[in-house]
Amino acid sequence: MAPTRDAASGAVGNAGVTIARIAELAGVSAATVSKVVNGHVEVAADTRALVEGLLREQGYRRQKKVSKAPLVEVLFHELAGTYPVEVVKGVDRVASAHGLTISLSQLEGRHVADRTWIDSVLARRPTGVVAVFSGPTPAQHEQLSRRDIPVVLVDPTGEPAHGVPSVGADNWSGGLAATRHLLELGHRRIAVITGATRMLSGRARLDGYHAAMDSAGVPVDPELVREGHFQIVDGLEHTRQLLRLSDPPTAVVTGNDGEAHGVYQAVYEAGLRIPDDLSVVGFDDLPPAQWMIPALTTIRQPLGDMAATATGMLLDLAHGRPLAQHRLVLSTELIVRASTAAPRR
C-alpha cells in the first residue's frame, strides 16, 4: 500500500490512515492527535499513550522534522529611534547565551504582518519569532504553529488571542504615576497627549491619567486631552495648540519620550521654558531622555527586560517546555529629573 502524506501533521501513513481517522479511533480531536504526532507536551499521559498505540497499530510513520535555524526572528512595526535598539539588546542577552543569532524585519509602520513577511520567515525556519508592537495574523500564527515555530509578543498592540504568549509593561500604573507626580507638585491644569488609543498601551496610559485625576478630585478639561500616535510631531503640534488656549496647561503627560521631545520644541518656539512655564513627563525612559535639556522626567518601561523575558519564553516553547504563565506584565517606574516642578501660577 502506497504511503500518503498528511499535510497538516507533517507525518506519513498508509493509504487511508489520516489524522482524522486516528482521532476517530481514539475518541479525541484531530488537534490532539496532531499535538502527539508533533511532540507537543500539553497532552495528558493516558491520552498520549492511547494515541501513540494507535499510530503504531495503524502503521503511521512520522516524517523527519526539518531542522530549524539557530535564529530568533525579531519583527518590528518599524525600525526607527532607540526603542528597537533597547529591544534587540534584550533579545540578544538571551539569544547569544544559547548560541542563537538574530534576524530583524520591519513592517514599515504597519502593525500586522503581510504575506511577504510570512513567506520569508517560513523559508528561514527560525527557532521562533519575537513580535514587537506588531504581530502575525491568526492565519499566520497557524502556519507558524504547523512548522513548530513559536511566537511571543512584546508590547502587544491589542489583547493577545487566547494561548498567544506575551510580555508587556504596566502601562496603566505608568500613566497613573506620571499624573500623580504632577498633582503632588500642585498642578491642576494637566494636559495629556496620548499614544494611539486604538493600541492597548495608548488606552491604558490614558486610563491611568484619568484614574489619577479622578482620585484627586480634579475635573478633566476635554480641551486638555489630545490623541497622538507616539510620534514627535504629535507633541509638537498638540502643544502649539495647547499653549494658545486662553487657560493653557501648566503640565503635560505624554504617550512616550518622542512626544515629549515634540513638546520641548513647541515650548522653545513659544519663547517659554521647561519646567518654569510647563512641566513635562514622558514615557519609556529611552537613553536620550537623560540628555534632553532639561533632563526629562519620565516613566521607565523595562524594554530590555521585556524582550529578554519574551526570548526566554520563546526558547521554552521551542524545546517543548510548558510556560508557567502565558502573559507577563512587568512593572514601570517613575524617574524624576529636571523637567517637572511646582507651577509658577
Rounded CA separation 251/179 (Å): 9
Contact between 254 and 296 (Cβ < 8 Å): no
**Secondary structure of the chain as H, E, C letters:** CCEEEECCCCEEEECCCCHHHHHHHHCCCHHHHHHHHCCCCCCCHHHHHHHHHHHHHCCCEECCCCCCCCEEEEEECCCCCCHHHHHHHHHHHHHHHHCCEEEEEECCCCCECCHHHHHHHHHHCCCEEEEECCECCHHHHHHHHHCCCCEEEECCCCCCCCCCCEEEECHHHHHHHHHHHHHHHCCCCEEEEECCCCCHHHHHHHHHHHHHHHHCCCCCCHHHEEECCCCHHHHHHHHHHHHCCCCCCCEEEECCHHHHHHHHHHHHHCCCCCCCCCEEEEEECCHHHHHCCCCCEEEECCHHHHHHHHHHHHHHHHCCCCCCCCEEEECCEEECCCCCCCCCC
In this model, does residue 291 exceed pLDDT 90?
Answer: yes
343 in a structural domain: no
Average pLDDT for residues 184-196, to the nearest whole number? 97
Domain co-membership, 288 together with 236: yes
321 in a structural domain: yes
Domain co-membership, 295 together with 311: no
In this model, does residue 11 exceed pLDDT 90?
Answer: no
Lowest mean pLDDT segment, chosen from 20-24, 228-232, 256-260: 20-24
Domain end among 43, 62, 81 = 62
102 in a structural domain: yes
CATH of the domain at 21: 1.10.260.40
Domain co-membership, 45 together with 161: no
Domain end among 37, 62, 87 = 62
Domain co-membership, 18 together with 98: no
In this model, does residue 32 exceed pLDDT 80?
Answer: yes
134 in a structural domain: yes
311 in a structural domain: yes
pLDDT at 12: 43
Domain co-membership, 269 together with 312: no
273 in a structural domain: yes
Domain co-membership, 177 together with 282: yes
Residue 225 pLDDT grade (very low, low, confident, very high; cuts 50, 70, 90): very high
CATH of the domain at 265: 3.40.50.2300
Domain co-membership, 160 together with 307: yes
In this model, does residue 1 exceed pLDDT 90?
Answer: no
Contact between 112 and 142 (Cβ < 8 Å): no
Average pLDDT for residues 285-310, to the nearest whole number? 98
Domain co-membership, 287 together with 311: no
% of the chain with per-residue pLDDT over 70 = 92
41 in a structural domain: yes
Domain co-membership, 206 together with 176: yes
269 in a structural domain: yes
Domain residues for the domain of 84 are: 71-169+303-330
Rounded CA separation 107/24 (Å): 42
Look at the chain and report how many structural domains it folds into.
3
Residue 43 pLDDT grade (very low, low, confident, very high; cuts 50, 70, 90): confident
Domain co-membership, 215 together with 316: no
Domain co-membership, 101 together with 201: no
The string of pLDDT tens digits covering residues 45-83 is 889 889 888 988 888 866 655 678 999 999 999 999 999
pLDDT at 63: 61
Domain co-membership, 198 together with 284: yes
